[in-house]
Structure 1
Amino acid sequence: MPTKPDPDAAKAAPAGTSTLDLALRAVEYLVQQSRPAALAQIAGALGASKATIYRHLVTLQRHGFVRQDAETGRYEAGIKLMVLGEALRQRFDIVSAAREELMTLRDRTGQAVTVCAAIDAELIVLELIQGRTLIEFATRPGTRLAFHASAHGKIWLAFGSQERTAAIANGELKAWTPATIVTRDALLADLDVVRERGWATAPDEVITGVNTLAAPVFDHRQILVGSIAIVGATQFIPPEPDPEQIREVVGSAARISRGLTWKD
């Protein structure tokens, strides 16, 4: 098929972005279709020439984002999109899969409950369930936490990517309070303890007078996909938590992990 330059293609967006923009729109268009689409149909829908769309489809097909029916020549979304979508979905599935367990944890401990996940290079709060105490916390969904200064973060550093752990430990460790761990050796020593006992705390390390007790959630591959925790004033969750609190948090995390497995 001829590949003559399309003089109209560059007019759709600022230089340097139009090509990517059109390719992404092509993928989005194919995902939304209920059946494979012809080249002319795709080009017409996106307002570009068939030659330009064809070039994008060839590249997308080479990377698995688009597939072409060998008999009809029509195009549809590729299997790679499903694979990537499933990988992304698993990051957030913990919230819906764990909701009942999290509500039970809140009711049994009386404390606020949070769920976190590491997304790209950041630790993000996915859910907050306020506790039964008079204190309410502002760590709403979308709040970013420090890996080195939070119980959630220590879980991710202890059981997650070794590359991330090394990068955080060797980088600048900001002091949020006088109790924040700010040296590499102290952080690594704390993480060794977290791995050994299976849970983490961060008393007074982010906010003075507040402690968090967190535990890891693993998927069927035994890969860390989330962390859950109870959060409260240190008068309710002391630096050395009550054994019953530990049992409740660790037990909830284990049950959520079992719920995320694909087999017994």
Structure 2
Amino acid sequence: MSEEKKSTVRAAERALDILLCFVDEGSLGMMEIAERTGLNKSTVFRLLATLEGKGFVKRDAETDKYQLGFRIWELATSLNQSDEPAVLFLPEMERLRDELDETVSLYLRIGKERIRIQAVESKQAIRRVAPVGARMPLSVGASSKVLMAYAGEEDVQELLADPSWPDNVDRGVFQEQLKRIREDGYAISVEEREAGTAAVSVPIFSRQGRLVAALAVSGPVSRMNVKKMVQFVPRLKESAQRMGKMVRA
């Protein structure tokens, strides 16, 4: 084997050793990685920069520590024969819950209702969420509006014409809200479905552009005001994008 090939193989082995450091740890600093791998600091620095550039690790600017990146989750899904969103998206939902410290939910549209197919509850003492499997109307709530905003026009008109449409929800306002959601890429609701609760939701699209589900973060209005929910949007969109890449079709 030539010296150039030996050097390339060594670099690959060292990069893999760095990734293996995260098997038992969620986040590590550069010096911790150097100690665990036995590599010098400059080598670890170069390899981390390469891994970060490819999305296999990410650095937290506040703590200056590294975590596994979204590419790891994309590779992991290739080992999983299930395309079920509730299974595929759970690790990313847990990470989102830990970062935002609020409940994270996943919704699908089934006929004229939405169903909560997965949830990771907030660790805070005060929280109120519907159970997994709960069915809710599509006329109210951030996730309902996200699911309808990206549905076909025929489905929207069928929903608006349904006799069960609530009298207190203006159809014209609802349609304007759907238009705004398509422009902004997110929806917010405050005490629409249940008093005292608020939520912000974004769509999850597959690589082919198919709407897969609605991703939502919810909590009590005492913590979830509109300003805070808008601040959550970029992080939700990042998670939704990663989730979409996990879906094969």
Same fold flag (TM > 0.5): yes
Say if 2:206 is the partner of 1:219. yes
Percentage of identical aligned residues? 20
1:207 and 2:194 correspond: yes
Which structure's relative contact order is higher, taking Cα pairs within 8 Å and 6+ residues apart?
Answer: 2
Choose which of 143, 152, 157 in structure 1 pairs with 2:143: 152
Matches within 5 A, 1:1-264: 93-171=84-162, 172-174=164-166, 182-261=169-248
| Closer, same or farther: CA 208–239 of 1 in aligned 2, 3 Å | farther
Amino acid of the structure 1 residue aligned with 2:225: P
Q: Which runs of 5+ in 1 are unaligned?
A: 1-88, 176-180
Q: Compute the TM-score of the two structures, normalised by the length of structure 2.
A: 0.62
Tell me if the contact between 1:106 and 1:129 (Cα under 8 Å) persists in the aligned partners.
yes
Which letter does structure 2 place at the counterpart of 1:140? P
Q: Tell me how far 1:219 sits from its aligned partner.
A: 1.7
Q: For residue 173 of structure 1, what is the amino acid of its counterpart?
A: W
Q: Give 2:121's aligned amino acid.
A: Q
1:251 partner SS: helix
CA RMSD of aligned residues (A): 1.9
1:178-223 per-residue CA deviation (whole Å, 9 max, x = no partner) reads xxx6111010011111111001111110112211111111123211
Deviation string, structure 1 residues 57-109 (Cα, Å, up to 9, x no partner): xxxxxxxxxxxxxxxxxxxxxxxxxxxxxxxx75xx11111111100110011
Report the counterpart of residue 48 of structure 2 in structure 1: none
Any conservation in 2 of the 1:169–1:188 contact (CA below 8 Å)? Answer: no
For residue 121 of structure 1, report the CA deviation from its aligned partner: 3.5
Q: TM-score, normalised by structure 1?
A: 0.59
SS at match of 2:191: coil
1:156 and 1:119 mapped to 2: Cα distance?
10
8 Å CA contact 1:169–1:187 kept in 2: the answer is: no
Classify the secondary structure of the residue corresponding to 2:224: coil
Aligned residues: 167
Deviations 1:202-256 (A, max 9, x none): 1110112211111111123211111111010122221344443111112111110
Structure 2 gaps, min length 5: 1-81
